[in-house]
Structure formats: structure tokens, C-alpha cells
Amino acid sequence: MPLYFGDLIPYAGELFTGLLISLGITAVAAVAGGLLAIGLYLGRASRRALPRRLAGAYIEVIRNTPLLLQLYLIYFALPQIGVNFDPITAGIIALTLNNAAYVAEIYRAGFESIPTGLNEAAAALGLSRRSTFVDVQLVPALRNVIPPLTNQIILLFLASSIASIVAVPELMHVMMGITSETFRTVETFVVGGLLYFGVAFLLAMTSKLIETRVIRWKVA
């Protein structure tokens, strides 16, 4: 079966724009989700039962239901009660809400993987709860979360393809459009796949670089 990539050349600009939109959606959802996750984590770690249970329930629901369904609810179901979002906003909201749950758990793991000995030493020295958090736990926790966070961003980027289902003109949607015009299905998917893979690979390399530079020490 002959493969002819030449037909795709006129679509290079479209593909590139689609990729930019994918990256844009990813960036917004990553930042917004990361911030929302701080609130979620603080709720989860709170000593009061209500925030703990609410945050915990939110995280469990998000993590045990498909992203697609969350998107359906936001884009198709909310209009039933008069809340209408355009496709790109709906996509960003769904990705943000989804991302926040996973990032909150990453924050939690980052704090919990701090060796208990450090917390005990802080307690033995008489450091207050606040000082223990800021002076002893925060920096090690930040360094702990960098690898899983960068991984999460890669996953988020791949998940942004879901917005194609509600016709957001990101990369996956552009690819489907090209296939219907050129019928060069295999070629389009190969090129698109390479684009996704290329970006994911670059992100992974960047994260390795950050890790080796930032995480300088071993626990002693």
C-alpha cells in the first residue's frame, strides 16, 4: 500500500496551528489546575473534617470517572440548566478540573514521602507546625513533586486531544479534518502522532534536565 506524504504539505500550517492550540489548552489547564490543586491539597490536609471530606470526595470522583464523561457533563449537560460554554472553554474547564485532582494527589505524595525522621527532628527541636512546614518540609516537598508534575503535564498534553470531540480546533481535530479531505489517513496519523510524540519527548527531556539540576541532594 503506497504511502504518500506529499498531500499533507499544504496542511502544514493548519497542523502547526492545531499544535499551538493544543499546547495553549495544556498550559492554561496546567497552571489553573496546579493552583486549584493547592486549595484541594490544603483542604485534604486540613484538620477540620468538612474541608477534608469535600476535597477528598472531589478527588475520588474525578479520579474514578473518565475525562470524557466530565467533558460531556460540562459541555452537553450544563446547558440543560442554562450554563453554556463554548467548546474551547468547556475543554479547558474539563481539563483543569480533572488535572487539579491528580496534581493535588501529587502534592500530597510529595509531602508524605518526606522521611518521618526529618519531621521528628523538627519536633524534637521544638519547631512550630508552621515553621516545620515552611522551613523543613516545603523545599524537600517541592523537589519531590517535580518529576511527577512534569509527567502529569505530558499526560495533560496528550489528554488535550479529547477536546477534538467537541470540535475544538486543536491538533487531533485538525488531523481528522485533513483525513476527511485528503483520505490520506495513515499518513496524517503518522505525522500527527510524530508531532504529539515529539512534543512529549521534548517535555520529558526538559523535565530530566530540571530534575538533575534542581534535585541536588540525597537524604542523609
Partner 1 sequence: MIEVTDLRLSFGKTEVLHGISCSVAESEVVCIIGASGSGKSTLLRCMNGLERPSAGSIAINGHRLGPGEKPTDLAVVRRDVGMVFQHFNLFPHLTVLSNITLAQRRVLGRTAQQSEERARMLLDKVGLADKADRYPDSLSGGQAQRVAIARALAMDPQVMLFDEPTSALDPEIVGEVLTVMKDLAAEGMTMVVVTHEMGFAREVSDRVIYMDHGAIVETGRPDELFASPQAERTRAFLSKVL
Partner 2 sequence: MFQSFGPDDLLLIAQGAVVTLVICSLAVVFGGTLGLALGLMSAGRIAILRWISAVYVGAIRGVPVLLIIFFVYFGLPLAVPGTDVPDYLAAVIALSVFASAYVSEIVRGSIAAIPRGQFEAAEALGLSYWSRYRFVILPQATRIIVPPGIGFLVVLIKDSSLVAAIGLMDLARSGNIVASLTANPILSYLVVGAVYFVICYTASAFARRYERRLSTRAVAPGVGDSLVVGSGVEK
- Which residues are at the interface with partner 1 (CB under 8 A)? 115, 117-118, 120-128, 131, 135-136, 139-140, 143, 216-220
Query: Which of 1, 9, 49, 124: binder of partner 2 (CB under 8 A)?
Result: 1
| Count of residues making up the chain | 220
Q: How far apart are CA 72 and CA 166, in angstroms?
A: 9
Residue 71 makes CB contacts below 8 A (sequence gap 6+) with 90, 91, 94, 162, 163, 165, 166
- Residue 34 in the binding site for partner 2 (CB under 8 A): no
Among 136, 109, 134, 106, which residue's Cα sits nearest to residue 120? 136
- Residue 65 in the binding site for partner 2 (CB under 8 A): yes
Cα distances (angstroms) measured from residue 5 to each of 101, 147, 171, 193: 40, 37, 17, 14
Number of C-beta neighbours around residue 34 at 10 A:
19
Report, in Å, the least distance between residue 190 CB and partner 1: 45
* Residue 196 binding target from partner 1, partner 2, none, CB below 5 to 8 Å by type: partner 2
Read off φ and ψ for residue 215, nearest 5 degrees: -85, 90
Report, in Å, the least distance between residue 204 CB and partner 2: 8
Query: Which of 9, 47, 49, 80: binder of partner 2 (CB under 8 A)?
Result: 80
Residue ranges binding partner 2 (CB under 8 A) = 1, 60-61, 63-69, 72-73, 76-81, 113, 115-118, 120, 158-159, 161-162, 164-165, 172, 175-176, 179, 185-186, 189, 192-193, 196-197, 200-201, 219-220
